[in-house]
Amino acid sequence: MTNHEAHVAGWLLLPAPGGAVMEPDADVAHAAKHGDVRAFEILYETYKRMVWNVAYRMTFRFDEAEDVTQEVFLAAWRALPRYRNEAAFSTWLYRIAVNTTLNHLRAAKSNPVSTDKDVYQAALDKDQFIQYNPEAPARAVEAEQTLARLLARLEPERRLALILREIEGLSYEQIAEAMETPLGTVRSRIARAREELAALAEHDEGKP
C-alpha cells in the first residue's frame, strides 16, 4: 500500500446508513483524479453512505459492510487516473461497489469453511443492529430481520439489482451502467426479484 493509499484508508470509518447524496462539483473529481487527497476525502464523505448501504444490504453484517466499503474506496483511488467524465462520478463508483460486493460474496462462497447458508442466508446480527441504532423500536429490528432473511434468499445479481432500484433509487439505465449489464437483463432481474420476494414473504406469512 502506498503512502497515499494508507492516508486514504486512515479515515475509512463506518458511516451511518441513509441520507441523500448530492453530486459534488466536477472539479472535485477532476482534482482527485490528479492525486489531490483532500478532494478524494470530499468524495469519500459524499458517497460513503451510498457505498456502505449497498454492501450492508447485500450482507446484513456491519463488519463486512465496513470491509467492503474500504475495499471500494481503495479500488476507486487506484482507478481514478482512468476515470473519465462521460458518466457521473456516483455511477462510476456504483460500478466499483457492485463489482467489489459481488466479488466479496463469491470469495466467501469459495471459502472451504463457508457454506451456502453462510453466504446467501445471512441473518441480521440483532445485538449489533441495536448497538448502531440504539433508539430503534422493536418493530424496526423485526422488520430488518425479515428484510435480511428475504433478501438473502435471492440470487445475488437479482438481489443487487433490486437493492439499487428499490433502496438506492437508481434508474434502470443507471443500474445497467453500474452492473455493466444490458437494460433488458436489468429489467428482467428486478421483475424476477420482486416476484420472488413477494412469494417468499407470502410463504413466510403462511407459516404457523
pLDDT one-digit tens code per residue, 11-21: 333 333 444 45
Flag whether pLDDT at 42 surpasses 90.
yes
Within this chain, do residues 142 and 68 fall inside the same structural domain, yes or no? no
Q: How many CB atoms lie under 10 A from the CB of residue 187?
A: 15
Within this chain, do residues 160 and 91 fall inside the same structural domain, yes or no? no
Within this chain, do residues 205 and 179 fall inside the same structural domain, yes or no? yes
pLDDT one-digit tens code per residue, 144-191: 777 888 888 899 999 999 999 988 899 999 999 999 999 999 999 999
Within this chain, do residues 131 and 162 fall inside the same structural domain, yes or no? no
Within this chain, do residues 100 and 29 fall inside the same structural domain, yes or no? yes
pLDDT of residue 152: 85
Residue 30 lies in a domain: yes
Domain-ending residue, one of 83, 113, 143: 113
Residue 184 lies in a domain: yes
pLDDT of residue 18: 44
Flag whether pLDDT at 10 surpasses 80.
no
pLDDT of residue 207: 62
Within this chain, do residues 149 and 188 fall inside the same structural domain, yes or no? no
Residue 165 lies in a domain: yes
Residue 75 lies in a domain: yes
Within this chain, do residues 45 and 60 fall inside the same structural domain, yes or no? yes
Within this chain, do residues 143 and 99 fall inside the same structural domain, yes or no? no
Within this chain, do residues 201 and 166 fall inside the same structural domain, yes or no? yes
CB 90 within 8 A of CB 47: yes
Residue 127 lies in a domain: yes
Q: How many domains does the chain have?
A: 3
Within this chain, do residues 65 and 129 fall inside the same structural domain, yes or no? no
Residue 92 lies in a domain: yes
pLDDT of residue 131: 65
Rounded distance, CA 122 to CA 149, Å? Answer: 7
206 vs 164: which has the higher pLDDT:
164
Rounded distance, CA 89 to CA 92, Å? Answer: 5
Rounded distance, CA 208 to CA 202, Å? Answer: 12
Residue 5 lies in a domain: no
* Residue 54's pLDDT band (cuts 50, 70, 90): very high
CATH at residue 86? 1.10.1740.10
> Which residues have CB under 8 Å from 86's CB, separation 6+?
none
Tell me if residue 86 falls in helix, strand or coil.
coil
Within this chain, do residues 144 and 158 fall inside the same structural domain, yes or no? no
Flag whether pLDDT at 117 surpasses 50.
no
Within this chain, do residues 96 and 139 fall inside the same structural domain, yes or no? no
Residue 3 lies in a domain: no
CATH at residue 172? 1.10.10.10
Q: Which domain holds residue 139?
A: 123-153
